[in-house]
Amino acid sequence: MREIKFRGYSGDGVWTYMTLNSGRWDFITFPLKEGSILNPRNWQQFTGLLDRHGKEIYESDILKYGSNHPRIPKTIGEVIYYRGSFRLDFKGNKVHTYDTLDWSEEEMEIIGNIYQNSDLLK
């Protein structure tokens, strides 16, 4: 069973993490600057997966994925939760395409997130 964790972005470069522990929420870190506000829309859930460098993958992360196989191109997308599963949303296409996050860790690499690196999706 995966650990239930969330992270929130305050908009001023500060991330806050919390985890569900025995039915109650525990803040792992709470380094908010004075006057910072955490918007509930900015909370992202941990997928239970790690990238090739061992970093936790959350909703709103931007991933580069693919293998060394010549017929499987490397591509970039945003991690979303859609229809009951975590998926990668390829926003570079005119029509959004979704693929379930079920690759091996060696094929996934976090290269940013939509709050600090949205230009990576253009």
Please indicate, yes or no, whether the overall pTM of this predicted structure exceeds 0.85: no
Q: Which domains does the chain have, with CATH numbers?
A: 5-121 (2.30.30.290)
Return d(Cα 53, Cα 116) in angstroms, integer. Answer: 20
Per mean pLDDT, which range of 8-12, 44-48, 82-86 is the poorest?
A: 8-12
In the prediction, which pLDDT does 113 show?
93
Contact residues for 100 (Cβ-Cβ < 8 A; gap 6+): 85, 86, 87
State the pairing for strand pair 15-21/24-29.
Answer: antiparallel
Q: Confidence class of residue 9 from pLDDT cuts 50, 70 and 90? A: confident
Question: What value does the CA radius of gyration of the chain take, rounded to a whole number of Å?
Answer: 15
Q: Model confidence over 64-113: pLDDT tens digits?
A: 887 666 665 678 889 998 888 888 887 655 444 556 666 666 778 999 99
For the segment 3-27, the average pLDDT, to the nearest whole number, is 79
What are the structure tokens assigned to 31, written together?
A: 């380094």
CA–centroid distance for 54 within its chain = 13
Contact 16, 75 (CB under 8 A): no
- Only one residue has tokens 């004075």, namely 34
